């Protein structure tokens, strides 16, 4: 393996750094989403909405105390600011949550672009080396050219392999963010409808 790495030439070092960065981001994001999945509590969300229908805000506070479900946190943020602007409060909280979900995705996207470009760069340097060796040794010694050809092929393969490995988790994590965003929008809209209905009912009873 080490000989294979050496045959790729100096471009293999930045490619190795890219592979470590990709692996680190993929592992970190996988753990992040696994933790989010374990902390989800859809039953609690339904309970919160039911309590909001009755305007029992104190019960909501007790129920949600200590919850780490991101949807619950967003709903609670809206409830706490219901007298000012519930929707804006939930939008701000949702933006923070989505930002956390998209963390390091830009790094993964960059690696998908950079790794193949480094591979092509290695191909060019390998071909240049081959022609230099060919010019120095002539056609009589074609084996002198093989080092440059190997460098060209190995770096291309390594760059493509890193990009291919990166694109699948990148798309998967983006899909997770999209699903989470849809969940946020659905429950935030439900809370807004419940609160508007409650406000109108209270206004009607006062009249």
pLDDT at 31: 96
pLDDT at 80: 86
Q: Is residue 176 part of a domain?
A: yes
pLDDT at 9: 74
pLDDT at 3: 66
The DSSP element (H or E) to which 15 belongs, if any, is helix 12-39
pLDDT at 207: 45
pLDDT at 184: 92
Q: Is residue 1 part of a domain?
A: no
User: CA nearest 149: which of 165, 126, 170?
Assistant: 126
Q: Is residue 46 part of a domain?
A: yes
Q: Is residue 62 part of a domain?
A: yes
104: alpha, beta or left, given left = phi > 0 and alpha = psi -120 to 50?
left
Sequence-separated (6 or more) residues with CB below 8 Å from residue 63: 44, 47, 48, 51
Q: Is residue 154 part of a domain?
A: yes
pLDDT at 67: 85
Q: Is residue 4 part of a domain?
A: no
Q: Is residue 3 part of a domain?
A: no
**In tens digits, what is the pLDDT along the chain, a chain of 207 residues?**
666 667 667 888 999 999 999 999 999 999 999 999 998 888 888 888 888 888 888 888 888 888 888 999 999 998 888 888 888 999 999 999 999 999 999 999 999 999 999 988 888 887 777 776 666 655 555 565 666 677 778 888 899 999 999 999 999 999 999 999 999 999 999 888 888 887 766 655 554
pLDDT at 116: 93
Number of domains into which the chain is organized:
1
The domain of 147 spans: 10-202
Query: For residues 151 and 9, is the Cβ–Cβ distance under 8 A?
Result: yes
pLDDT at 41: 87
For residue 125, count other CB atoms closer than 10 A to its CB.
Answer: 17
pTM of this prediction exceeds 0.85? no
∠ CA 130-153-164 to the nearest 5 degrees? 155
């Amino acid at each position: 393996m080490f000989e294979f790495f050496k045959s790729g030439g100096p471009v293999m070092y930045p490619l190795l750094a890219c592979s470590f960065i990709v692996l680190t981001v993929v592992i970190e994001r996988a753990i992040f989403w696994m933790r989010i999945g374990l902390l989800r509590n859809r039953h609690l969300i339904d309970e919160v909405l039911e309590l909001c229908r009755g305007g029992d805000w104190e019960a909501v506070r007790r129920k949600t105390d200590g919850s780490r479900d991101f949807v619950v946190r967003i709903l609670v943020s809206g409830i706490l600011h219901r007298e000012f602007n519930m929707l804006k409060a939930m939008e701000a909280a949702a933006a923070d949550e989505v930002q956390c979900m998209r963390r390091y995705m830009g790094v993964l996207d960059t690696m998908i672009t950079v790794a193949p470009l480094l591979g092509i760069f290695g191909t060019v340097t390998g071909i240049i080396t081959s022609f230099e060796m060919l010019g120095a040794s002539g056609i009589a010694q074609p084996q002198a050219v093989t080092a440059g050809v190997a460098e060209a092929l190995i770096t291309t393969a390594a760059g493509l392999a890193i990009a291919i490995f990166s694109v699948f988790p990148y798309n998967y994590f983006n899909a997770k963010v999209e699903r989470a965003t849809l969940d946020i929008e659905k429950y935030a809209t439900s809370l807004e409808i419940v609160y508007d209905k409650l406000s109108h009912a209270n206004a009607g009873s006062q009249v």
